[in-house]
Amino acid sequence: MEQRMRRATRGRVAALAAVGLMLTTGFVAPAGPVQAADTNLVVNGGFEDGLTDWFVNNGNASDGAQLSATSNAYSGANAALVTSRATTGSGPMQDLSGKVQAGQAYTLTARIRYENESGPATKQFFATMHYGGGTYTNLVSVTATKGQWAQFTGTFTIPTTQSVSTARLFFETPWTSTPSTDPALHLMDFTLDDVSVTGAAPPAPASKTIEVVGKLPGEHNPLIGHKFGADGFGLVHDGRVYMYMTNDTQGYAPNPTTGVSPGINYGDINQLTVISSADLVNWTDHGEIQVAGPNGVAPFTANSWAPGITKKVVNGVEKFFLYYANGGGSSNVITGASPLGPWTSERTSTLIDGRTPGAEAVAWKFDPAPFVDDDGQPYLYFGGGPASTSMPPAERFNNPKNIRSIELGDDMVSTEGTAAVVDAPVAFEAGHVFKRQGRYYFSYSSHFGGNDFGGNQQPLPGYPGGGQIGYMISDGPMSWPKETYAGVLFPNQSQFFGAGTGGNNHQSVFEFGGRYYFTYHAPTLNKRINGNTTQGYRSPHIQELTFNPDGTIQQVVGTYAGVEQVRDFDPYRVFEAETFGWSKGVATTKVDGSSAQFGGAAPNLVVRDIDNGDWTALSSVDFGDDGARSLTARVRALATGGQIQVRLDDVNGPVVGTVAVDSPAGQWAEVTATLDGVSGVHDVYLTYTGSAGADLFEIDNWSFAADTLDLPVTLSASTRCVGGKAYVAVQARNDHDAPVGITLETPYGERSFVAVAPGANAYQSFNSRAVSLSAGSATVRVTGAIGGHDVTTVRTVQHPAGTCGG
């Protein structure tokens, strides 16, 4: 880290020399890039919203300070006070990534003051941009007089060659490697106010929507075709498999003309992606968890890679523990109340780092993989990277001893004892443990040789080649000598998927329905977008894992076919629209509210960016012998004339129903279509049509209604006047022989009732807030069970027009 800081310092000096007079007050930029309309890119620069959008610079592990709001402001009610600075760079920071552009000129202004009694009479301050890694550029400087407000005023131009995928603005004093030797001179407290950076408006974000068919109909790998995901880790809970992945989509930004994105930048990834499935083919997108970064669950971490998750009852409560790599230097854990959260951090510092006993010699303290044994004892496996240079070259190559195992505390967020060496042959990273028939299996990804591993060495017979998944078998979860090595579990993925799909891998194993499954990643979706030249964006895959009679594993073969669907899809319930086996041209996004399928604690996503010709599809949907009567979709129309066509077995198959998305534009509503001849098991394609060049609608969820499964309900609706305003009164009586849920929906609001008893009514009067209203309709959704099947019945009821007042 000190070397990186020294390199960064030289970069800062060079940058200062390059901008020269640019840093002086009143500097006028020479002819060159044209400055755009005056757009302020800084949010809350006057700190009137407290510290919103500001945080302490965390570019290096040694940085640290306290940031607080103060009323001692230059203008307005608030300013930002920074105290207890650990380094000269430990100052207020705001992330301008995605806002500033290379080749553009910007004007920066700010007010700054320091009052430290023992400090110097004057002090220079810098406004600095951190472009990622060791690239720092001082933008504007000012020399302040103690006790007086000083003003930054200057113009800077970002070089056309500068990458701005990361651009973080912060305020600091001149760098020195040993500021603690004279903190009064180097680490004084200071106050910042009225920060602005004006210039070119932020560019429109590049569309991340993947327009190609990334997962071909009939194939089951990759698992999803509308986004990327790497380092998949499977968790089985309540009949579903949840897959947690590094969010490779976060940095994906394809060029609008070429369709090619810059290469993946791991340093920008601070989210994890979650998907789940009950059948291993139709996957529900649960979106991203904002784990790290200033707005993350654990803001003291900067990255989130390579997740591992497990569940355990702690103090009588079942909790879910999601571990992740905070870059290469440490690992951490957050806690969830369910597989989908909500997530909290029980820690204020990283779980695994240089302080972890037994991990001091591990170069990369990342890739944490939890395992809870049958007796309830939890363990964590982590580590990887270059071998210790103190080892002989041949040993560095064949037995680098760079992975560790350690016991976790009963709370799952602390460690116990000293980490033990996992002596995995040719190990690189991605350690993972599972248990089968009383034996422990440790799998890992192998290295590619090179100077980090002793140079040009000869691997021992049977040891893994570069980028393969090896495995070991042991009788204990903490005992992994090299003699427990059992062979190669999975060759490099490029052997199966060809050019452009090589590189290292990351795997997990889970048991589901009595079978074992192996997860891995490969840039197969990236390949289908761009051909054999890929940019490192990876996609999740699953293959079944089978064993020999002696317990060894049969080597896995990677295929696009993937695994068999383990059960047919049940359509007779409300399910999320972002559930599909295959798709073309759509994207997903989070919206306010809770998930209709997964409950109030789960995030709610919708399918968006739906254009004419796009589609989604479900694999092996079982409509039963009697078949389906109708399909209801919760939609938000964005253009007129949109339709959803229901087709069977092929994207060009027969249309068995058409949903007209004719609801009011911009409002969520339910639309229904009658289906014709839909029975038995079919793949179902939902094809979207409408005006070319327009986003047609968004979809929240679906529900099919069976011909013979219908919940009886009696409806009425009327118009009332209260206080001179027109109200729509809606009533629904439960005529079923068991309790049901009832939701009443009108253009003026909705209300849900849980467990309405047989013969009881659900009633609500909705205020239109108008003196009169036209005749219209209300929608009533009834949910319950018939013969063990979850059933949803959707009905509409008309209400008359009404006028109130004189």
pLDDT averages per 10-residue partition of the chain, 806 residues: 29 35 34 56 96 93 93 97 96 94 95 93 97 92 97 96 92 95 96 96 87 97 98 97 98 90 94 98 98 95 98 96 97 97 97 97 97 98 96 97 98 98 98 98 97 94 97 98 98 97 97 98 97 96 98 98 97 95 98 90 96 98 93 96 97 97 95 94 98 95 86 94 92 94 91 94 92 86 85 88 84
Q: What are 365's two structure tokens?
A: 């303290």
Give the single-character DSSP code of 159. -
Pairing of strands 789-799, 776-786: antiparallel
Distance, CA of 16 to CA of 11 (rounded, Å): 9
- DSSP, collapsed to helix, strand or coil, labels residue 429 as strand
The radius of gyration computed from the CA coordinates of the chain, to the nearest angstrom, equals 30
Q: Shortest CA distance to 65 belongs to which of 143, 149, 172, 163?
A: 172
Sign of the dihedral defined by the CA atoms of residues 463, 467, 471, 476, in that order: positive
Q: What is the DSSP string of 431-499?
A: EEEEEETTEEEEEEEE---BGGGTBS-PPPTT---TT-EEEEEESSTT-B-GGGEEEEEE--THHHH-T
Residues in the chain: 806
Distance, CA of 91 to CA of 125 (rounded, Å): 11
pTM: 0.74
Is residue 705 within 8 A of residue 632, CB to CB? The reply is yes
Is residue 656 within 8 A of residue 677, CB to CB? The reply is yes
Is residue 67 within 8 A of residue 55, CB to CB? The reply is yes
Is residue 54 within 8 A of residue 47, CB to CB? The reply is yes
Q: What are phi and psi of 254, to 5 degrees?
A: -65, 140
Q: What are 230's two structure tokens?
A: 């790497």
Q: What are 654's two structure tokens?
A: 């027969």
Q: What is the DSSP string of 724-787?
A: TEEEEEEEEEE-SSS-EEEEEEETTEEEEEEEEPTT-EEEEEEE--SSEE--EEEEEEEEEEET
Q: Which residues are designated catalytic?
A: 231, 429
* pLDDT at residue 52 in the model: 94
Distance, CA of 698 to CA of 701 (rounded, Å): 10
Q: What are phi and psi of 551, to 5 degrees?
A: 95, -10
Sign of the dihedral defined by the CA atoms of residues 290, 291, 297, 300, in that order: negative
Distance, CA of 470 to CA of 209 (rounded, Å): 35
Is residue 141 within 8 A of residue 128, CB to CB? The reply is no
Pairing of strands 415-422, 427-436: unpaired
User: Exposure of 627 by Cβ count < 10 A (0-12 exposed, 13-18 middle, 19+ buried)?
Assistant: middle
Q: DSSP H helical segments within 126-188, as ranges? A: 183-186
Q: What are phi and psi of 364, to 5 degrees?
A: -115, 110
